[in-house]
């Protein structure tokens, strides 16, 4: 196995609810290491680059607007199989059905909004991680 890196974002709903420390500590408790960390107010341009594959989809504009709504904490974590490991800790995309014990299962819910506010983002592959880390930590 080789050491991987992944991008983890604590989205505006996680930051505004004071869950940044909980999220980061859960990932660290799993044994992964933070190698970069910052709190940012994303620009539309950054988000357009990050979500480029979703342009034209019905949820695209509500998602960008949500991500512009407040600060985001961006982190790069490193470790063996960290991409898969973080996604396991995060839980499924839909917080209503995410398993208890996961970030989304313990702290997320459906708020009845146009876009799912599910607390965190994690890269889904090594290729996505490299691209996303380059966007957020240029």
**Average pLDDT value for the chain:** 96
The predicted model gives 117-126 an average pLDDT of 97
Q: What are the C-alpha distances in Å from 29 to residues 21, 24, 76, 103, 105?
A: 12, 9, 15, 13, 17
Q: Pick the catalytic residue: 41, 50, 54, 121? A: 121
Told to judge if 50 belongs to the known catalytic residues of this protein, a careful annotator would answer: no
- When pLDDT is averaged across residues 33-52 and rounded to a whole number, the result is 98
Write down the pLDDT at residue 1. 64
Q: What is the mean pLDDT of residues 15-32?
A: 98
Average pLDDT for residues 33-48, to the nearest whole number?
Answer: 98
Residue from 4, 128, 136 nearest 73 by CA? 136
Query: How large a percentage of the chain has pLDDT more than 90?
Result: 93
pLDDT reported for residue 114: 85
Does an H or E element contain 80, and which?
Answer: strand 72-80
CA atoms within 13 A on the CB side of 121: 24
CA 23 to chain centre: 10
Can you list the domains of the chain with their CATH numbers? Answer: 3-136 (3.30.70.141)
Residues comprising the chain, all counted: 138
């Amino acid at each position: 196995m080789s050491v991987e890196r992944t991008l983890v974002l604590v989205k505006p709903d996680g930051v505004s609810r004071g869950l940044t420390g909980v999220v980061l500590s859960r990932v660290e408790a799993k044994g992964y290491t933070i190698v970069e960390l910052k709190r940012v107010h994303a620009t539309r341009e950054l988000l357009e680059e990050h979500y480029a594959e979703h342009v034209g989809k019905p949820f695209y504009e509500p998602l960008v607007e949500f991500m512009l709504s407040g600060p985001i904490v961006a982190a790069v974590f490193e470790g063996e199989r960290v991409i898969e490991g973080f996604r396991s800790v995060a839980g499924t995309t839909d917080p209503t059905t995410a398993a208890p014990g996961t970030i989304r299962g313990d702290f997320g819910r459906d708020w009845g909004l146009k876009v799912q506010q599910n607390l965190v983002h994690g890269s889904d592959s090594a290729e996505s991680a490299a691209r996303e880390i380059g966007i957020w930590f240029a």
